[in-house]
Amino acid sequence: MPDVPGGYLDAASTEPLHPAAREVLLAAMDDGWADPARLYGAARRARMLLDNAREVVAAVVGARPDEVSFTASGTQALHLGVLGTMLGRRRVGTRVVVSAVEHSSVLFSAETSAGAVGQVPVDRTGRVDPGMFRSALDDATALACLQAANHEVGTLQPVAEVAAACAEHAVPLLVDAAQVVGRVPVPAGWSLLAASAHKWGGPGGIGVLAVRRGTRWRSPLPHDERGSGRVPGFENVPGALAAAAALRARSEEAESLAASQTVLVERIRAQVPELVPDVEVVGHPTDRLPHLVTFSCLYVDGEALLTELDKEGFAVSSGSSCTASTLRPSHVLQAMGVLTHGNVRVSLARATTAADVERFLTVLPGVVARLRATAGVDRL
């Protein structure tokens, strides 16, 4: 396996394929190629392998195996979670309550399926107040959505407290767990959960949707006998197996990896404001993901900053990870009330070293200074 470049600092978007996943993926192409819905030997073998993958994922997220389905992506899992719950609970109500910093796929799905969407604001760290979320729930609320951790700034959300409030109102809670699965413990209390394998070092094209037994959910797609009626189509058995292998390996190393990444992220959080003038580090200072840090540089265009850092060998993200090419400000940063331009999200990969971080800290001040000089604001 080729070495992961030390300048790759966008693991919150995609973690490079875990060695355990690569090995299993190659083997599964030979062992898991058959149609798991058939009855002959090779098909039964594929079904057994698929069931094993489902059991691994279920154990990590805290679900029963029959509650877990594999999807084509984390985005599809969120779409199905929102749309399916609204369809299944249409007699209860047509309102969805979300945090203002949910992933765009949640916000768009809510707008598409709901009669009304209630957005709960966040503070400057990107965190919702459980009391405000509780107050937003009412008898017409069919679904509540709260991410486990924010994908742009890394802030952990009070899922347990919000889940308790949802339980009191008999409202199912959909948790976007894409950034926490395989990294930190999955919070309890969810009714539906979505995740994405490429975030934890699995292959792309594999998502996870878990629906608790007893949750009213109906597929918004035409009926299909596959996927327990949740996700139609031929299952990607090799992909699911590789995703499960990566998740098992990441879960075993999660605690030690989080400890080492926390030290490196603390170094970035402390040093960037010292090395670069007019910088705002955003996100919660303590209740956050161990591998992610975001900061905004005044008087600097975010996309220009990304381009220059790329020339120096660093792959980072700017603004919303899903809208960086649209020139629209990040809805997350806007909701937080923080600086929305000149934004850089650094997320450490499994293979990122202290030397990689130090090189980034050495290069960054010069890059920002050059961009400010070009823009004529270096002497303000």
Domains of the chain (ranges; CATH) run 19-249 (3.40.640.10), 254-375 (3.90.1150.10)
- Residue pair 50/42 in contact (Cβ under 8 Å)? The answer is no
- Distance linking the first and last C-alpha atoms of the chain: 48
What's the rounded Cα separation, in Å, for the pair 180 and 176? 9
pLDDT digits (tens, 9 = 90+) for 318-361: 864 444 455 578 999 999 999 988 999 999 999 999 999 999 99
Write the DSSP string, 42-73: HHHHHHHHHHHHHHHHHHHHT--GGGEEEES-
pLDDT surpasses 50 at 285: yes
State yes or no: is 322 an active-site residue: yes
pLDDT in tens, 213-226: 999 999 999 877 76
Q: What is the dihedral of CA 142, 147, 152, 158, to 10 degrees?
A: 120
Q: Give the pLDDT of residue 376.
A: 86
Residue 83, pLDDT above cutoff 80: yes
Residue showing tokens 């598409």: 112
pLDDT at 380: 54
pLDDT of residue 120 exceeding 80: yes
In this structure, the number of other CB atoms found within 10 A of the CB of residue 222 comes to 6
Q: What is the mean pLDDT of residues 288-301?
A: 95
pLDDT tier, 2 (very low <50, low <70, confident <90, very high otherwise): very low
Q: Which of 375, 152, 374, 361 is nearest to 274 (CA)?
A: 361
Would you state the structure tokens that stand for residue 331, as one six-digit string? 């809805």
The mean pLDDT value of the chain amounts to 93
Phi, psi of 106 (to 5 degrees): -70, -45
Sequence-distant (6+) residues with CB within 8 A of 258 are 183, 184, 290, 291
In terms of DSSP H, where are the helices of 202-344? 237-275, 302-311, 331-336
Instruction: Say if residue 5's pLDDT is above 80.
Output: no
In the set 145, 166, 297, 322, the catalytic residue is 322
pLDDT at 52 over 70: yes
Please report, rounded to a whole number, the percentage of residues in the chain having pLDDT higher than 70: 95
Instruction: Tell me which residue has tokens 């058939």.
Output: 38
For 144-155, b/e burial (b = at least 16 CB within 10 A) is bbbbbbbbbbbb
Q: What is the pLDDT of residue 189?
A: 97
> pTM of the full predicted structure?
0.94
- pLDDT at residue 379, rounded to an integer: 60
pLDDT band at 227 (very low <50, low <70, confident <90, very high): low
Rounded (10°) CA dihedral 42, 54, 236, 105 = 170
Residue 57 in this model has a pLDDT that exceeds 50: yes
